[in-house]
Amino acid sequence: MAKVTIDGKSIEVPDGTTILNAARMIGGDIVPPAMCYYSKLKTSGGYCRTCLVKVAQGSAKDPRPMPKPVPSCRQTVMDGMVVENITSPEIVEARAGVVEFLLLNHPLDCPICDQAGECHLQDLGYEHGKMKTRYEFKRREFEKIDIGDKIKLHMTRCILCYRCVKVADQLCSCRNHGVMNRGDVAEISTYIENVVDKDMSGNMIDVCPVGALTDKTFRFKSRVWFTKPVDAHRTCDKCCGKVRLWYKGEEVLRVTARKDKYGEVEDWICNSCRFDHKKTSDWVIEGASHIDHHSVISANHYETGKALENLKSDIERHQKQLKENKFALGQGAMNPNNV
């Protein structure tokens, strides 16, 4: 066991736990954001640098600080480690810089993108006041392709987090796409279009933190904030069958897996649940999904029962955080003019 202190909050965690997971065990807003790390995918993480933290004290035996910010998704804890995340102005600034780097080649076509409203890069940019880019040069350009028969790839939006590659490796029977070339010209590709057809491959859409991989059956059907999420299940022999249906009126526009507060799916779902069962009669409805009230998807949603209780506690938590954490926002990181 190792005792680690993150932003003044201590916790005992098993040896070999990463700083990010230790922070998630504590919970709250000290959890570093992650664009490439995915707790349900093995060997994920270490690419995007969004989860940088400062290690102010390496361990009890060797209390020297680490010389550079470290990626918390890969750095394991040591006994007596002291970590600073949002309490360190240096880290808040470094993360804002990382966000800007992620936006370098991003086309900023959010008005067109189907992911808008549930996009992690959008949230991250907004949280760090990076709603625009300083980059003036030509961005890398790719044609949009049908990477699978039901999946569209917009390579221009990709941030190369490798999550979809790991989904194909770990969930599908075989992988037929990957990252080709290196550096600036690295791209997710298959060489041949329409080949990603293995079962469970639809989970790539859910794990993609940006709008690079999107559901073709939902393409341009509706903006996500005009649809209403409802939890439902069915008995499926290939997956858990627990999904979220996105309704517009009486029509199910798309089916996704349920996501937790870190935007990670709770359980993988198979392609047949995702693409082929879009009738209310296919599903047993459990009730309206709980959406964080800070999300644009919660606009005009009226929650009842347990979801309403969740919503109330959500609002209380956010208000408490606002009172506590004024110091973390005072460093200009939240100021949109400070680009």
Partner 1 sequence: MQSLTNRSKVVSNKKMTFMERIYLPAIFGGMMITLGHFFRKKTTVQYPEVKRPFAPVYRGMHVLKRDENGAERCTACGLCAVACPAEAITMVAAERKPGEEKLYREEKYASTYEINMLRCIFCGDCEDACPKESIFLTDRIVPSDSFRDKFVYGKDLLVEPMEENKRIDISKRQTKEVLEFKKHKEFQHNRLK
Which parts of this chain interact with partner 1 (CB under 8 A)? 107-112, 116, 132-134, 136, 219-223, 225-226, 296, 299, 339
Nearer to partner 1 by C-beta: 27 or 249? 249
CB of 221 to partner 1, least distance (A): 8
Nearer to partner 1 by C-beta: 134 or 323? 134
Rounded to whole angstroms, the Cα distance separating 52 from 74 reads 10
Say how many C-beta atoms besides its own lie within 10 A of residue 284's C-beta.
11
Nearer to partner 1 by C-beta: 189 or 298? 298
Nearer to partner 1 by C-beta: 114 or 303? 114
- Taking the mean position of all CA atoms in its chain, how far away is CA 282? 29
CB of 299 to partner 1, least distance (A): 6
Nearer to partner 1 by C-beta: 55 or 224? 224
Alpha-carbon distance values, 95 to 25, 32, 91, 225, 232 (Å): 21, 10, 6, 28, 37
**HSE, side-chain direction, 13 A CA sphere, residue 142:** 20
Angle at 70 between CA 9 and CA 155, to 5 degrees: 115
**DSSP assignment of 85-119, as one string?**
STT-HHHHHHHHHHHHHHTSS----TTT-TTTTS-
Say how many C-beta atoms besides its own lie within 10 A of residue 255's C-beta.
23
CB of 111 to partner 1, least distance (A): 3
107, 157 in Cβ contact below 8 A? yes
CB of 133 to partner 1, least distance (A): 7
For the chain, counts of helices (H) and of strands (E)? 8, 14
| Torsion angles phi and psi, residue 151, rounded to 5 | -125, 130
CB of 57 to partner 1, least distance (A): 40
Nearer to partner 1 by C-beta: 221 or 318? 221
Nearer to partner 1 by C-beta: 222 or 310? 222
Q: Which residue has the tokens 């790991």?
A: 166
- CA torsion 235-241-244-249 (nearest 10°) is -30
CB of 105 to partner 1, least distance (A): 12
CB of 219 to partner 1, least distance (A): 7
Nearer to partner 1 by C-beta: 133 or 310? 133
Nearest alpha carbon to residue 158 among 130, 181, 134, 137: 181
Strand partners, 2: 13
CB of 118 to partner 1, least distance (A): 14
